[in-house]
Structure 1
Amino acid sequence: MNTIEYLKGDATRPASEGNAIIAHICNDIGGWGKGFVMAISGKWKEPEAAYRKWFKSKEHFSLGEIQMVQVEEGLWICNMIGQHKTISKSGGKPPIRYEAVEQCLEKLAAEALQRNASVHMPRIGCGLAGGKWEEIEPIIGRTLLNHQLKVFVYDFK
């Protein structure tokens, strides 16, 4: 079975050859403006615009769903709805929803296999979503690694 490759660096700059998908967690209330999404928006406008359009449409916009947005040749952003509300709107309870993250990553695995792509991410769900890496890491193992995908996790320098 593959293992996660941990790197120091910027998750918006995939450190591998070939097709790549950058995955990150979004909330289920249409909010975009804090955390890792700011790094994404600093490089590409399409992921935020697509997410906001998706939210407005309400079409399959719910926990456990993903949206693939191509930003360059061979590079996609995967908007994954794995967070219920935001920390400021959740009454102090961490907004991460591990079951939704697992559903998202299973769908992402299918997309990565179809595109012959590696998967790149920060420590998803562990920032503003309030999740714990010791919960997220095994989910990555059951989903992405179980499909023999190459997974890179970045810790920003």
Structure 2
Amino acid sequence: MAASRPEPAIVGWRELVGLPDLVSARIPAKIDTGARTSSLHATEIERFDRDGQRWVRFLLDLGEGRSEPVTCEVPRADRRIITSSNGDGQTRFIIKTALTLGSHNFRAEFSLADRSDMKFPILIGRTALRRRFLVEPSRSYLQSPLHERKLLKSRG
């Protein structure tokens, strides 16, 4: 008899997520089923080689006044054309890193992009959500601990 797949968890249209390989803080993220690829707010992005592998270095911005940007270095960065919501194609670096959403920990791909004109520093796309989560678009922070939500509200 085949093992059954666990029921997907319910997430709101926004959640607090962790990127434990990059930073210890939880970061506000928009859940977006219209986007295929997840995206991180990164600036000063540069590719370099280390020990024969392609790496990328960037500043990860956690969003409005949360802290100073964090310098991150990640191995095996690829480049891919990402089509934005307005239909324009843009070549971006793609990294794969650990993502924590609620009690779920898994690796996900992120494109690195300047999201300074966006409200959320992270966008979680449908590829990361697939088979793990269902989205309740009228709710927020369903997988985010109450004490972290209160801390986020206190910052404005």
Output the TM-score relative to the length of structure 1: 0.32
Structure with the bigger percentage of helix = 1
- Rg bigger for which structure? 2
Output the TM-score relative to the length of structure 2: 0.32
